[in-house]
């Protein structure tokens, strides 16, 4: 009888762990990039602790702005893959965690962390 109760308890705990949703993960830290606004001003864009595994179009360099962002700096704890086009399309380049960065020659419009 005790064996059956122990088995039921273990089975119940296993099922509970299996169906409990995992917490959403995020890259801790900041991702930065430079861009020129539509009005022609130099600006710095950033994402603080962005979600992982989700394509993010960078604010300020979307369809309204013909100029992409540049000089990305990955100061998060996750790899960042930057893309030359919106919706994580076009050419891509990976930036390592904490110290990854590129010059103004690298043009960016979207990024995914993970």
Q: Compute how many other C-beta atoms are within 10 angstroms of the C-beta atom of residue 113.
A: 26
Cα 81 to chain centroid distance, Å, stands at: 8
Averaged pLDDT, 43-53: 97
Per-residue pLDDT tens digits for 11-25: 444 444 444 344 458
Q: Could you tell me the fold of the domain covering 29-113?
A: Gamma-B Crystallin; domain 1 (2.60.20)
Distance from C-alpha of 50 to C-alpha of 47, rounded to nearest angstrom? 6
Q: For residue 70, give Cα distances in angstroms to 13, 44, 97, 102.
A: 50, 10, 18, 8
Averaged pLDDT, 84-112: 96
Predicted TM-score (pTM) of this structure: 0.77
Nearest CA to 47 out of 37, 35, 38, 57 is that of 57
Per-residue pLDDT tens digits for 68-97: 999 999 999 999 999 999 999 999 999 999
Share of the chain above pLDDT 90, in %: 75
Report domain extents, the chain: 29-113
């Amino acid at each position: 009888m005790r064996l059956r109760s122990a088995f039921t308890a273990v089975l119940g705990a296993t099922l509970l762990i299996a169906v409990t949703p995992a917490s959403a993960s995020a890259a801790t830290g900041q991702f930065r990039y430079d861009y020129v606004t539509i009005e022609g001003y130099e600006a710095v864009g950033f994402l603080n602790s962005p979600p992982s595994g989700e394509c993010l179009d960078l604010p300020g360099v979307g369809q309204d702005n013909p100029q992409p962002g540049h000089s990305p700096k990955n100061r998060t704890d996750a790899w960042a893959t930057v893309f030359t086009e919106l919706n994580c399309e076009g050419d891509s380049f990976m930036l390592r965690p904490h110290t990854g960065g590129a010059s103004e020659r690298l043009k960016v419009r979207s990024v995914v962390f993970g």
